[in-house]
Structure 1
Amino acid sequence: MPALFTSLCITLATGAGAASAAVSPAAAPASHYTGTLADGATWIADTPAHWNGTLVLFSHGFGPPTAADAPSQASADALLSQGYALAGSSYDPNGSWWALASAERDQFATLTAVEQLLGRPTRVLSVGESMGGLINSQIVQDGAGRINAALNLCGLVGGGVNLNNYQLNAEYAITKLLPGASGIPIRDYATPDAGSAAATQMVAAITQAQSNTAGRARIALASALLNESDWAPGQSAPAQRDFAGQEAQEYTWLTSGQLQFIEFGRYYIELAAGGDSSWNAGLDYAALLRGSAHYDQVRALYRQAGLNLDADLATLTRGAHYTAEPGSLAAMQATSTNTGHLAVPLLDVHTTADQLVPVEQESAFAQKVRAAGDSALLRQAYVARQGHCNFTTAEIVAALDTVDQRATDGYWGAGTSAASLQAAATALNLDGAAFVRYRPAALLVQSPAPRGF
């Protein structure tokens, strides 16, 4: 199991006692409850000594089917201290870690179970993190009458079909263009560890390629196709025209566990969908790259290396042959996408340098929400920091307080501006905040599905 996986696992301490009697909201003691749903999923709930009447329904990210009701123990403690009650499920323990087939159902069933136990909350706020953000976007579209408002943290709101496609594009470019990478499998892994092993081979080829200008140019191309961040941990963000510096930090991400996580996870996505849903057959890679925010960087590094970018893009286009495996695309479209419809207000918060769920997914989601006619219900906010779901407790609590206020007031007001969120988070005197004004680039991915898929 790749080390980077631990950044997405959510593990909370759970008590031993299961709930057996109803408790009125006004008198709810500080308690921990557990239960089991019809499909075998488990749920947990925690209530503070003095409940404010708001229940937080938390959808956790990709990982083992373990019930969680907050992004972290620190955020759970902070939210309980403010009077929020917390609940969340494991999702179906008999299925894939890519639990989209059962997750929304299990979350609504958890809400029903907790309401039967505690009584009807004054408000229900749904919160999703990472893969749980995609789940939460489905809860939001279907939650009229059950959910009052919602918060996503680093949510995979661009959907599973897009995720598979842009990852395939990058993997394909690596194995097609980098010496030493030819023949490395990029899908149909027999086990998750087989995926990790393939990623290790890719990393070896990338490491070798980094030693020369031609290799660095091609790494930049693959990174652009992956929607890779160019701001790596422990480093300062490179300047806008510092193309070499950008590539160096993209290389750091690629060789620091990112690819191992991606390929490890691909096994579980394929398991859930009955095959790999991604495709590139018929894709024009030159036309695709022209839409990238990193197009100028790639062109500059190719010129510096004396390489013909058009020739490499033609090679990719000519060799593109992957098609969605039978039934898999339909399964992913049915379980692992959202419509863009918002039945309740939603605040999305994302770090600006997210290596696993690129911030550009927010652009794709906003476009879908606009097409559904629900832009007035969506707000998006950004934190200037590297890493997936790398939020402080103050940022999480301030964002949720803002969503709670939206549910109370019935309008957004100015509370979702970067300045307002920063002030609210700082006032908590917890662990700091870095909300900033930011506009993500477009998500670089082929869409829609070709005719006949």
Structure 2
Amino acid sequence: MTIPPRSRRAGATLLAAALAVPAAIAGATPAAAAEAPRVIAGVLADSTPYRFLVPADWNGTVFVDLDFASQARPGADVEHLLDDGAAYGGTTRSVTGWNIPGAIDNQVEALDAFADAVGEPSRRIAMGSSMGGAVAAGVAQWHPDEIDGVVSLCGGLSGSVSQWNQKLDTVFVLSELLDPAGTLPVIGIPADVAGAVAAWQTSLAAAQSTPDGRARIALAAAIGQLPAYSQSAPRPAPGDRDGVQAGWYGALTGDGLPYIGQGMSSRRTLETLIGGNPSWNTGVDYAVQFQALSPQVKRVVERLYREAGLSLRADLSTVDGAERIAADPAAVQRFERGTEFDGRISVPVVTMSNIGDQISTVAQMSEYEAEARRAGDADLLRQTYVDSAGHCAFTAAERVAAAELLLHRLDTGTWGNRDKPGRMNAHASRLGLGESRFLPFQPEPFNRPYTLQASPG
């Protein structure tokens, strides 16, 4: 991580000077154009574009977001924050891709460009979704002197190595139980990613049509801590065997952004970027992992196995007896840089996760909280949860409520119980930006934790 602290940034060189131009659209009246936000835009040292919108009544707060510069126009949540006087902008992932350390550094460089063009903000806030949520949390960890707060949405936050170890577990169990001949890829994804995804989806669809296959899909999904909650069906009751299994299947392969699809495409990308495989399951005891799951989850899997006439113990023994996958230690070292969290935070951090997120699975948030507690910084962290399925499936009202929870903490120095679901819903419902579905929720303990001192074996 290379960006200097704010006190030493005055000599920073940008490839393009910031532009201060009106954001008026064709046909707007002169009065409307005069009130439109200014656009501050340019290019960072690595050629990443950046863009900020600055309202005429700017209040000194600026948000920086990994994905903002790639958006054609701001969403209703950003419009609301602009109307309240905050500036909002950011970069894109078009250049950095899975180079998350580079994306983290870019957020600080973009903020410095903003300050050069507009003036030093009184509050710098990193905010983002998905990879952007992980990048925002990374700014807090690696550049704590450059930021005043973080809003991390659907970012996972167990860390990149641990997240992809857990994804390996899911696909490994599926491979051993549904594809014992090993015809479908687990790591080393081929260049024909679409073909690999289609082959996996065909295999999973065939398995879903039989009691044996449904039981084995359920076991793999439970081991991978996937949500039993899919966009294709209502959220099932915890004991609804068929509903829970259908939710797992939908999250795994049935919805618009399936877990198995990302497990192929993103693994191919990251393995290419870092030059090797950063995931391993050497030393993992899957029977122990299963026993550590919640009683409700275990009961559903056990019942599916009984009704299929299969032995759960035998299948776990098969998986545990299979040849394991070792990581490339150099790839692990490259992958962990900037993307593993040690819990040490020095600014307020708000996270928001939707409990049916099949990509940034919600159990990861328990690991981020555990790290913060071990570091003694849990009071700076507030985690919120939303009752919805799909990756980053939030309304504009929920996004603004999360941002305004952080602003409340910065304004008052306390959380004031504003993070409680009832208060979050009451606040969000007054915004007129869609429904609000915050709920009390405690994710399961994450079953594949990793620290920077761990060894891939």
Q: TM-score range by the shorter chain?
A: 0.7 to 0.9
Alignment check: 8 A CA contact 2:156 2:362 kept: no
Partner SS, residue 43 of structure 1: strand
Partner SS, residue 144 of structure 2: coil
Partner SS, residue 349 of structure 1: strand
- Give 1:72 deviation, angstroms: 5.5
Name the counterpart of 1:138: 138
Distance 1:99 1:74, change over 3 A: farther
Name the counterpart of 1:164: 164
Name the counterpart of 2:10: none
Alignment check: 8 A CA contact 1:203 1:254 kept: no
In structure 1, list runs of 5 or more residues that go unmatched.
1-16, 61-65
Deviations 1:125-155 (A, max 9, x none): 2112111121111111234332222111111
TM-score (norm 2): 0.87
Deviations 1:173-193 (A, max 9, x none): 1111115873211222243xx
Alignment check: 8 A CA contact 2:40 2:53 kept: yes
Establish whether residue 89 from structure 1 lines up as the match of residue 88 from structure 2. no
Name the counterpart of 1:299: 302
Q: How far apart, in 1, do the equivalents of 2:346 and 2:430 lie?
A: 31
Amino-acid identity (%): 31
- The residue correspondences of 1:259-274 to structure 2 (distance < 5 A) are 259-274=260-275
Deviations 1:22-64 (A, max 9, x none): 99xxx9962112111112121111111221221011133xxxx
Alignment check: 8 A CA contact 2:21 2:40 kept: no
Pick which of 113-122 and 196-205 moved more: 196-205
| RMSD value, Cα | 2.4
Q: How far apart, in 1, do the equivalents of 2:415 and 2:406 lie?
A: 8
TM-score (norm 1): 0.88
In structure 2, list runs of 5 or more residues that go unmatched.
1-15, 23-33
Partner SS, residue 101 of structure 1: helix
Structure 1 residue runs of 4 or more that deviate by more than 6 Å after TM superposition: none
- The residue correspondences of 1:297-446 to structure 2 (distance < 5 A) are 297-445=300-448
- Give 1:73 deviation, angstroms: 2.2
Partner SS, residue 164 of structure 2: helix
- Give 1:92 deviation, angstroms: 7.1
Establish whether residue 284 from structure 1 lines up as the match of residue 291 from structure 2. no
Distance 1:299 1:44, change over 3 A: same
- Give 1:342 deviation, angstroms: 0.7
Name the counterpart of 1:12: none
Alignment check: 8 A CA contact 2:19 2:42 kept: no
- The residue correspondences of 1:120-199 to structure 2 (distance < 5 A) are 120-178=120-178, 182-191=182-191, 194-199=192-197
Q: How far apart, in 2, do the equivalents of 1:70 and 1:132 lie?
A: 17
Establish whether residue 105 from structure 1 lines up as the match of residue 105 from structure 2. yes
- Give 1:452 deviation, angstroms: 6.5
Q: How far apart, in 2, do the equivalents of 1:452 and 1:248 lie?
A: 34
Deviations 1:99-146 (A, max 9, x none): 213011111111111011110112112112111121111111234332
Alignment check: 8 A CA contact 1:58 1:70 kept: no
Deviations 1:358-397 (A, max 9, x none): 1111101101111111001000111111111111111111
Name the counterpart of 1:63: none
Which residue identity lines up with residue 101 of structure 1 in the other structure? Answer: P
Q: How far apart, in 2, do the equivalents of 1:57 and 1:451 lie?
A: 34
Alignment check: 8 A CA contact 2:229 2:250 kept: no
Deviations 1:329-373 (A, max 9, x none): 111122321221111001111111111111111101101111111
Which residue identity lines up with residue 263 of structure 1 in the other structure? Answer: M
Which residue identity lines up with residue 321 of structure 1 in the other structure? Answer: R
Q: How far apart, in 2, do the equivalents of 1:334 and 1:370 lie?
A: 22
**Counterpart among 216, 219, 222 of residue 217 in structure 2:** 219
Count the aligned residue pairs: 425
Q: How far apart, in 2, do the equivalents of 1:423 and 1:276 lie?
A: 46
Q: How far apart, in 2, do the equivalents of 1:160 and 1:452 lie?
A: 14
- Give 1:319 deviation, angstroms: 0.9
- Give 1:20 deviation, angstroms: 4.3
- Give 1:88 deviation, angstroms: 0.8
Partner SS, residue 406 of structure 2: helix
Q: How far apart, in 2, do the equivalents of 1:273 and 1:227 lie?
A: 26
Alignment check: 8 A CA contact 1:55 1:86 kept: yes
Q: How far apart, in 2, do the equivalents of 1:416 and 1:230 lie?
A: 25
